[in-house]
Amino acid sequence: MESVPLWESANRLRLDPRGRLFVGGLFITAVILTRTRPALIAESLLLALGIFGFGRGKVRRSSLHLIWPMVSAVFAISFLAFGLEAATDLSIRLVNLFAASALFFQTLAPEELAGALRSLKVPDPLIFILMTALRYVPLLGRTLRNIYDAQTARGIDVRLRLTNTPRLLALLVPLLVQAFMLAENLAMAMESRGFSREAKGRPRLGPISSRDILFVALGIAAFIGFLFWERRGP
Protein backbone atom coordinates (compact mmCIF):
# COMPACT_ATOMS: atom_id res chain seq x y z
CA MET A 1 0.00 0.00 0.00
CA GLU A 2 1.23 3.49 -0.88
CA SER A 3 2.46 5.31 2.24
CA VAL A 4 1.00 8.73 2.98
CA PRO A 5 2.98 11.52 4.66
CA LEU A 6 1.67 12.22 8.15
CA TRP A 7 0.97 15.87 7.41
CA GLU A 8 -1.42 14.79 4.62
CA SER A 9 -3.41 12.80 7.19
CA ALA A 10 -3.50 15.94 9.35
CA ASN A 11 -4.65 17.97 6.35
CA ARG A 12 -7.49 15.57 5.76
CA LEU A 13 -8.71 16.40 9.28
CA ARG A 14 -8.46 20.06 8.17
CA LEU A 15 -6.45 21.11 11.20
CA ASP A 16 -4.79 24.48 10.87
CA PRO A 17 -0.95 24.36 10.89
CA ARG A 18 -0.87 27.03 13.61
CA GLY A 19 -2.92 24.77 15.88
CA ARG A 20 -0.67 21.80 15.15
CA LEU A 21 2.41 23.93 15.79
CA PHE A 22 1.00 25.09 19.12
CA VAL A 23 -0.02 21.61 20.31
CA GLY A 24 3.30 20.15 19.13
CA GLY A 25 5.09 22.84 21.13
CA LEU A 26 2.99 22.00 24.21
CA PHE A 27 3.88 18.31 23.88
CA ILE A 28 7.61 19.03 23.71
CA THR A 29 7.28 21.44 26.68
CA ALA A 30 5.52 18.70 28.64
CA VAL A 31 8.44 16.35 27.96
CA ILE A 32 10.91 18.97 29.16
CA LEU A 33 8.93 19.75 32.34
CA THR A 34 8.36 16.12 33.33
CA ARG A 35 10.11 15.22 36.59
CA THR A 36 9.05 11.75 37.70
CA ARG A 37 9.96 8.43 36.19
CA PRO A 38 6.40 7.02 35.92
CA ALA A 39 5.42 10.13 33.95
CA LEU A 40 8.50 9.78 31.72
CA ILE A 41 7.61 6.14 31.05
CA ALA A 42 3.98 7.09 30.35
CA GLU A 43 5.25 9.63 27.81
CA SER A 44 7.51 7.01 26.23
CA LEU A 45 4.55 4.67 25.83
CA LEU A 46 2.43 7.43 24.32
CA LEU A 47 5.19 8.37 21.90
CA ALA A 48 5.84 4.75 20.95
CA LEU A 49 2.13 4.38 20.29
CA GLY A 50 2.21 7.52 18.15
CA ILE A 51 5.27 6.52 16.15
CA PHE A 52 4.35 2.87 15.60
CA GLY A 53 0.65 3.67 15.20
CA PHE A 54 1.52 6.00 12.33
CA GLY A 55 3.67 3.30 10.71
CA ARG A 56 1.90 3.89 7.42
CA GLY A 57 2.27 7.61 7.92
CA LYS A 58 5.94 7.45 6.98
CA VAL A 59 7.34 8.43 10.39
CA ARG A 60 11.00 7.73 9.84
CA ARG A 61 11.67 5.30 12.64
CA SER A 62 15.04 4.54 11.08
CA SER A 63 16.14 8.15 11.68
CA LEU A 64 15.64 7.56 15.42
CA HIS A 65 18.43 4.96 15.27
CA LEU A 66 20.89 7.82 14.98
CA ILE A 67 20.09 9.00 18.53
CA TRP A 68 21.40 5.88 20.28
CA PRO A 69 25.11 6.85 20.27
CA MET A 70 24.23 10.19 21.89
CA VAL A 71 21.85 8.59 24.41
CA SER A 72 24.53 6.02 25.30
CA ALA A 73 27.08 8.79 25.85
CA VAL A 74 24.67 10.78 28.07
CA PHE A 75 23.86 7.63 30.06
CA ALA A 76 27.53 6.78 30.57
CA ILE A 77 28.53 10.29 31.64
CA SER A 78 25.55 10.85 33.95
CA PHE A 79 25.99 7.37 35.45
CA LEU A 80 29.56 8.23 36.38
CA ALA A 81 28.59 11.69 37.66
CA PHE A 82 25.20 11.16 39.34
CA GLY A 83 24.50 7.43 39.57
CA LEU A 84 22.16 4.95 37.95
CA GLU A 85 18.79 6.56 38.75
CA ALA A 86 19.67 9.99 37.38
CA ALA A 87 21.32 8.41 34.33
CA THR A 88 18.19 6.38 33.59
CA ASP A 89 15.88 9.40 33.96
CA LEU A 90 18.10 11.63 31.80
CA SER A 91 18.35 9.00 29.07
CA ILE A 92 14.58 8.39 28.97
CA ARG A 93 13.96 12.14 28.86
CA LEU A 94 16.41 12.52 25.97
CA VAL A 95 14.81 9.68 24.00
CA ASN A 96 11.35 11.19 24.62
CA LEU A 97 12.55 14.59 23.48
CA PHE A 98 13.94 13.21 20.21
CA ALA A 99 10.85 11.09 19.62
CA ALA A 100 8.46 13.98 20.35
CA SER A 101 10.42 16.26 17.99
CA ALA A 102 10.43 13.60 15.25
CA LEU A 103 6.69 13.08 15.62
CA PHE A 104 6.08 16.84 15.67
CA PHE A 105 8.05 17.48 12.48
CA GLN A 106 6.22 14.64 10.76
CA THR A 107 2.84 16.24 11.43
CA LEU A 108 3.75 19.51 9.68
CA ALA A 109 4.90 19.86 6.09
CA PRO A 110 7.87 22.27 5.96
CA GLU A 111 5.81 24.81 3.98
CA GLU A 112 3.02 24.63 6.56
CA LEU A 113 5.52 25.19 9.33
CA ALA A 114 6.85 28.21 7.44
CA GLY A 115 3.32 29.56 6.95
CA ALA A 116 2.47 29.10 10.63
CA LEU A 117 5.68 30.82 11.77
CA ARG A 118 5.12 33.66 9.31
CA SER A 119 1.63 34.25 10.71
CA LEU A 120 3.25 34.43 14.16
CA LYS A 121 5.40 37.30 12.79
CA VAL A 122 8.68 35.35 12.93
CA PRO A 123 11.14 37.25 10.65
CA ASP A 124 11.50 35.79 7.13
CA PRO A 125 15.30 35.26 7.26
CA LEU A 126 14.90 33.13 10.41
CA ILE A 127 12.17 31.07 8.75
CA PHE A 128 14.36 30.61 5.68
CA ILE A 129 17.26 29.40 7.86
CA LEU A 130 14.98 26.85 9.53
CA MET A 131 13.54 25.68 6.22
CA THR A 132 16.99 25.38 4.66
CA ALA A 133 18.20 23.35 7.63
CA LEU A 134 15.19 21.03 7.31
CA ARG A 135 15.86 20.70 3.58
CA TYR A 136 19.60 20.09 3.80
CA VAL A 137 20.04 17.96 6.92
CA PRO A 138 18.87 14.81 5.05
CA LEU A 139 21.15 15.72 2.13
CA LEU A 140 24.15 16.01 4.46
CA GLY A 141 23.11 12.69 6.02
CA ARG A 142 23.30 11.09 2.58
CA THR A 143 26.65 12.79 1.94
CA LEU A 144 27.98 11.32 5.20
CA ARG A 145 26.83 7.87 4.09
CA ASN A 146 28.63 8.32 0.74
CA ILE A 147 31.81 9.44 2.54
CA TYR A 148 31.62 6.43 4.84
CA ASP A 149 31.31 4.10 1.84
CA ALA A 150 34.09 5.85 -0.10
CA GLN A 151 36.53 5.69 2.84
CA THR A 152 35.69 2.07 3.69
CA ALA A 153 36.09 1.11 0.03
CA ARG A 154 39.64 2.46 0.00
CA GLY A 155 40.64 0.74 3.24
CA ILE A 156 40.09 3.47 5.86
CA ASP A 157 38.26 1.70 8.65
CA VAL A 158 35.75 4.21 10.00
CA ARG A 159 33.35 1.83 11.71
CA LEU A 160 32.01 3.16 15.01
CA ARG A 161 34.66 1.65 17.30
CA LEU A 162 36.83 3.14 20.00
CA THR A 163 40.02 2.12 18.18
CA ASN A 164 38.88 3.99 15.07
CA THR A 165 38.31 7.31 16.88
CA PRO A 166 41.36 9.07 15.36
CA ARG A 167 40.12 8.09 11.91
CA LEU A 168 36.79 9.86 12.35
CA LEU A 169 38.56 12.84 10.76
CA ALA A 170 38.27 10.88 7.51
CA LEU A 171 34.50 11.32 7.86
CA LEU A 172 34.37 14.79 9.37
CA VAL A 173 36.81 16.65 7.09
CA PRO A 174 35.12 15.70 3.78
CA LEU A 175 31.71 16.35 5.34
CA LEU A 176 32.74 19.80 6.52
CA VAL A 177 34.32 20.71 3.19
CA GLN A 178 31.27 19.52 1.25
CA ALA A 179 28.95 21.40 3.62
CA PHE A 180 30.91 24.59 2.86
CA MET A 181 30.77 23.87 -0.89
CA LEU A 182 27.03 23.31 -0.62
CA ALA A 183 26.64 26.55 1.34
CA GLU A 184 28.49 28.47 -1.37
CA ASN A 185 26.40 26.91 -4.14
CA LEU A 186 23.26 27.62 -2.15
CA ALA A 187 24.25 31.27 -1.74
CA MET A 188 24.86 31.50 -5.51
CA ALA A 189 21.47 29.93 -6.24
CA MET A 190 19.69 32.25 -3.81
CA GLU A 191 21.39 35.29 -5.31
CA SER A 192 20.55 34.21 -8.88
CA ARG A 193 16.93 33.54 -7.98
CA GLY A 194 16.35 36.94 -6.44
CA PHE A 195 16.38 36.07 -2.74
CA SER A 196 17.34 39.63 -1.85
CA ARG A 197 14.12 40.94 -3.41
CA GLU A 198 11.28 41.31 -0.92
CA ALA A 199 8.69 38.54 -1.11
CA LYS A 200 5.24 39.91 -1.93
CA GLY A 201 1.80 38.45 -2.34
CA ARG A 202 2.52 35.47 -0.14
CA PRO A 203 -0.56 33.27 0.23
CA ARG A 204 -2.02 33.70 3.71
CA LEU A 205 -3.36 30.99 5.98
CA GLY A 206 -7.13 30.83 6.25
CA PRO A 207 -9.09 31.85 9.39
CA ILE A 208 -8.91 29.58 12.43
CA SER A 209 -12.00 27.35 12.56
CA SER A 210 -13.96 26.12 15.61
CA ARG A 211 -12.43 22.67 14.97
CA ASP A 212 -8.94 24.18 15.44
CA ILE A 213 -10.00 25.99 18.60
CA LEU A 214 -11.36 22.73 19.99
CA PHE A 215 -8.13 20.93 19.04
CA VAL A 216 -5.98 23.57 20.76
CA ALA A 217 -8.28 23.60 23.83
CA LEU A 218 -7.99 19.80 24.12
CA GLY A 219 -4.21 20.11 23.81
CA ILE A 220 -4.05 22.70 26.60
CA ALA A 221 -6.36 20.60 28.81
CA ALA A 222 -4.22 17.50 28.24
CA PHE A 223 -1.06 19.48 28.98
CA ILE A 224 -2.40 20.92 32.25
CA GLY A 225 -3.99 17.60 33.21
CA PHE A 226 -0.72 15.73 32.59
CA LEU A 227 1.36 18.15 34.66
CA PHE A 228 -1.26 18.13 37.45
CA TRP A 229 -1.29 14.30 37.51
CA GLU A 230 2.47 14.22 37.50
CA ARG A 231 2.94 16.76 40.32
CA ARG A 232 0.33 15.08 42.52
CA GLY A 233 1.83 11.67 41.84
CA PRO A 234 0.14 8.69 40.13
Partner 1 sequence: MIHLKNAAYRYPSRQGTAPWALDHIDLNVHQGEYVVIFGPSGSGKSTLTFVLNGLVPHFFGGEFFGEALVCNHAVPETPPAVLSEQVAVVLQNTDAYLFCATVEAELLFGLERSPIPAHQYDQRIQEILAFLDIEHLRHRAPHELSGGEKHLAAVASALCLKPHIMILDEPFAHLDAPNRSRLRQALAAVNRAGTTVIVAEHLVDDFLLDVDRCLVMEKGRVRFDGTPRQTLPHLMEVGLVPQYPQPPGEQAPLGQESLLKVSEVSFYREGRPVLDRVSFTLRAGESVAVTGPNGSGKTTLVKILGGLLKPHEGCALWNGRDIHKIPPPMRVRHVGVSFQNPNDQFFKVQVEDEIWAGPKILGKKGLPADREWIEHICNLFGVRPLKEHSPYRLSEGEKKRVALASVLAMKPQVLVLDEPTAGQDGRFRRELAELLLCLSKDLGIAVVVVTHDKDFARAVCARRLLLDKGRLVEDRAMVPSAEEV
Question: Which residues of the shown chain bind partner 1 in the complex (CB under 8 A)?
Answer: 109-111, 114, 131-132, 134-136, 138-139, 143, 146-147, 149-157, 159, 167, 169-174, 177-178, 181-182, 185-203
Rounded Cα distance, 4 and 59, in Å: 10
Question: Cβ 24 to partner 1, closest distance in Å?
Answer: 17
Question: Cβ 201 to partner 1, closest distance in Å?
Answer: 3
Decide if 129 contacts 113 (C-beta within 8 A). Answer: no
Decide if 51 contacts 104 (C-beta within 8 A). Answer: no
Question: Cβ 218 to partner 1, closest distance in Å?
Answer: 28
Which one, 69 or 138, has the nearer CB to partner 1? 138
Which one, 206 or 233, has the nearer CB to partner 1? 206
Rounded Cα distance, 213 and 1, in Å: 33
Question: Cβ 77 to partner 1, closest distance in Å?
Answer: 28
Cα 81–86–87 angle (5° rounding)?
70
Which one, 146 or 209, has the nearer CB to partner 1? 146
Which one, 27 or 148, has the nearer CB to partner 1? 148
Which one, 80 or 162, has the nearer CB to partner 1? 162
Which one, 8 or 85, has the nearer CB to partner 1? 8
Which one, 71 or 186, has the nearer CB to partner 1? 186
Question: Cβ 222 to partner 1, closest distance in Å?
Answer: 29
- CA-to-CA separations, 49 to 22, 42, 45, 46, 59, in angstroms, rounded: 21, 11, 6, 5, 12
Q: What is the 3-state secondary structure (H, E, C) of 84-127?
A: HHHHHHHHHHHHHHHHHHHHHHHCCCHHHHHHHHHHCCCCHHHH
Rounded Cα distance, 26 and 158, in Å: 40
Question: Cβ 210 to partner 1, closest distance in Å?
Answer: 27
Question: Cβ 150 to partner 1, closest distance in Å?
Answer: 4
Q: How far is CA 117 from the centre of its chain?
A: 16
- The sign of the torsion formed by the CA atoms of 117, 107, 75, 41 equals positive
Q: Which of 172, 160, 165 is nearest to 69 (CA)?
A: 160
